Amino acid sequence: MTQENFDPRAFRNTLSQFATGVTIITTVDEDGAPVGITASSFNSVSMDPPLILWSLAKDSYSLPCFQKAEYYNIHILSQTQEDISNLFARPGADKFGDVDFMPGRDNTPILKDCAALLECRTRHQYDGGDHIIFVGEVLSHDHCETEPLIFHQGQYATCAKI
Ligand SMILES: Cc1cc2nc3c(=O)[nH]c(=O)nc-3n(C[C@H](O)[C@H](O)[C@H](O)COP(=O)(O)O)c2cc1C
């Protein structure tokens, strides 16, 4: 395949064969208001030091907040949290109205009842085409034994172990 006949839809379909979990990543804006997005681009990077990565579209509303943020929280969703995933996948502010959360580092919102939580400090930001790639240092983390929410071929799924 050459650059001339590149088909974005076919590329998306190829990538969607890679099943992922689903995260909500939260921080605060300059006025201290909570900000959050749904992201499946999360992945592990390094054990020593403990680093993770994720990427955010350059046209997303919350990008400037994450670019300025020192701290953010990554919540790995459980299989019952499809609704909150859809809520945080909507563009714009004001996603926290009916959501239960508590203050973390620098008042960054920590959501309740997720499968896992990683509290992170921004370490690096890289240009990644139409996305910015964030590499974060994990400051603390926790998880529970609940089953995670899966995203595969553009649809939510549950985890079946073999
Ligand atoms: C399951 C799922 C995974 C997503 N993963 C990402 C992602 O990794 N990066 C990204 O930029 N957008 C991702 N999105 C889309 C964002 O959640 C969506 O664009 C959201 O509107 C961004 O919020 P904002 O515009 O308020 O910043 C995902 C959406 C869904 C439903």
Q: Which residues are CB-contacts of 21 (< 8 A; sequence separation ≥ 6)?
A: 40, 42, 76, 77, 115, 148, 149, 150, 151
Query: Average of pLDDT values for 49-73?
Result: 98
Residue-range domain boundaries for the chain: 8-13+20-99+112-157
85 alpha carbon – ligand 1 mean position (Å): 9
CB 20 within 8 A of CB 40: yes
CA R_g for the chain: 16
The pLDDT tens digits for 139-161 are 999 999 999 999 999 999 999 99
CB 30 within 8 A of CB 69: no
CB 136 within 8 A of CB 53: yes
pLDDT at 119: 98
CB 122 within 8 A of CB 139: no
pTM confidence score: 0.97
Which of 23, 29, 37, 130 has the most ligand 1 atoms within 8 A of CB, as the residue to mutate? 37
The pLDDT tens digits for 11-60 are 999 999 999 999 999 999 999 999 999 999 999 999 999 999 999 999 99
Indicate the CATH number of 8-13+20-99+112-157 among 1.10.10.10, 1.20.120.1200, 2.30.110.10, 3.30.420.40: 2.30.110.10
Going by C-alpha positions, the residue among 86, 83, 85, 82 that lies closest to residue 157 is 82
Is 65 near ligand 1, meaning CB less than 6 Å away? no
